[in-house]
Amino acid sequence: MSTTLHWITLIAYVVGSLISLGFLIRQRQGLYRMGLALLWVGFGLHTLALAAAWVEGGVLPATSLRQSLDVFSWALMGAVLVVNLSLEVKILGALVGPICVLLMLAASVLPAVPVVKTAAFKSAWVIVHVVSIMAGYGLLALTCLGGVLYLAQDRALRAKTMGPVFKRLPSLSRLDSLSQSSLLAGFLLMTIGLISGAVYAQMALGSYWRWDPKEVWALITWLLYAALLHTRLVQGWRGRRGAWLSVAAFAALVVTFLGAGLLMPGYHSFSSMADLGGPRP
């Protein structure tokens, strides 16, 4: 069931992305609405697919890289669609749709590992940990995208030609709001995710923090985002500096998400998930 839904979701995302790309090129409003509607449909199916995988596997479907990429693409698409409700940035579908398609394809070709049914993945603390971290990642990816688009529009404005980039991108102030609102929400969720993880670690492993590589990178990432938030809210770094910093912070986030999960050994790495036990008595 979840596999079928996964593929139907992928089809909806592919078609929605193609139509959104059509909008990017042709700038017809009908294409925008159609593409957006399809992405919403895809997101609904995606939610169902993940729920089905949860029910079928019995545990939160984020125990392998394959599943994590799937959940991340869901979080990214959700973040874009929700933020787009109030801050309409019409070209986001054309940019994020293909990214989500690639993430889901990557998730599809990765080898399926048997679902680890450890007690750890049934704990409410772990569920909160994983879900808020993933949702936070999705929003912070959007912050980075907002920063990149801000830099592109800034460049287009300074080129003084009113070219195609200038016409298609929204205003600097809208891109700034996009970055700011996704940053605030993403940072909050990431913080909740880290705290709930630490609480669970205390219950299960006897210490809040074990300096596992993923934890170290998560701390670096969190500090970078804290700095980004501080410079933005307190010092008013909103322009190019803020945009560059949001890109740098996201690079650290990718290292945390992929690098520490794949390359560095530690109990957070996907290969050692199976060894995790439940809470100690």
Partner 1 sequence: MKLHLIGLSHKTAPLEVRECLAPPPETVPQELGRIVDLPLVREALMVSTCNRVEVLAATEDEGGEAELSAWLCGGRGQDPQAIAEHLYLYQGADAVRHLFRVASSLDSMVVGEPQILGQIKEAYRAATEAGTTRTVLNRLLHKTFQVAKRVRSETNIGGAAVSISFAAVELAKKIFDSLEGLSALVVGAGEMAELAVEHLMAQGVSRVQVANRTLERAMELARGWGGQAIGLDDLGEVLGEVDIVIASTGSPQAVITAKMARAALKARRGRPLFFIDIAVPRDVETAVGELDGCYLYDIDDLTSVVEANRAGRAVEAGQAERIVAEEVVKFMTWLAGLDAVPTISALAAKAEEIRAAELGRTLKGLEGLSPEQAAALDRLTQALVKKLVHDPIMFIKGASHSKSPDTLRQQLALVRRIFNLEENGGE
Contacts with partner 1 by CB under 8 A lie at 153, 157-158, 160-162, 166, 169-174, 232, 235-242
Residue nearer to partner 1 on the CB measure, 150 or 250:
150
Are the beta carbons of 260 and 252 closer than 8 angstroms? Answer: no
* Smaller CB separation from partner 1, 140 or 178: 178
Closest CA to 168 of 91, 84, 87: 91
Written as one string, the DSSP assignment of 19-48 is HHHHHHHH--HHHHHHHHHHHHHHHHHHHH
Question: Which residue number, 230 or 241, has a Cβ lying nearer to partner 1?
Answer: 241
CB of 151 to partner 1, least distance (A): 11
CB of 15 to partner 1, least distance (A): 26
By beta-carbon proximity to partner 1, the closer residue of 102 and 172 is 172
Task: From residue 188, give the alpha-carbon distance in Å to each of 2, 21, 202, 243.
Answer: 30, 32, 21, 19
Shortest Cβ 70–partner 1 spacing (Å): 35
Residue burial 7-27, b: 16+ Cβ < 10 Å; e: rest: ebbbebbbbbbbbbbbbbeee
Q: Which two tokens stand for residue 149?
A: 């688009």
Q: C-beta of 100: minimal distance to partner 1 in Å?
A: 27
Rounded distance between C-alpha atoms, residue 280 and residue 183, angstroms: 36
- How many Cα atoms are found within 13 Å in the side-chain-facing hemisphere of 46? 27
Nearer to partner 1, 157 or 199 (CB): 157
Look at residue 97 and give its three-state secondary structure: helix
Minimum distance of partner 1 from residue 234's CB (angstroms)? 9
State which residue, 158 or 280, has the beta carbon closest to partner 1. 158
In the complex, minimum distance from the CB of residue 164 to partner 1, in angstroms, rounded to a whole number: 11
Alpha-carbon span 256 to 171, nearest angstrom: 32
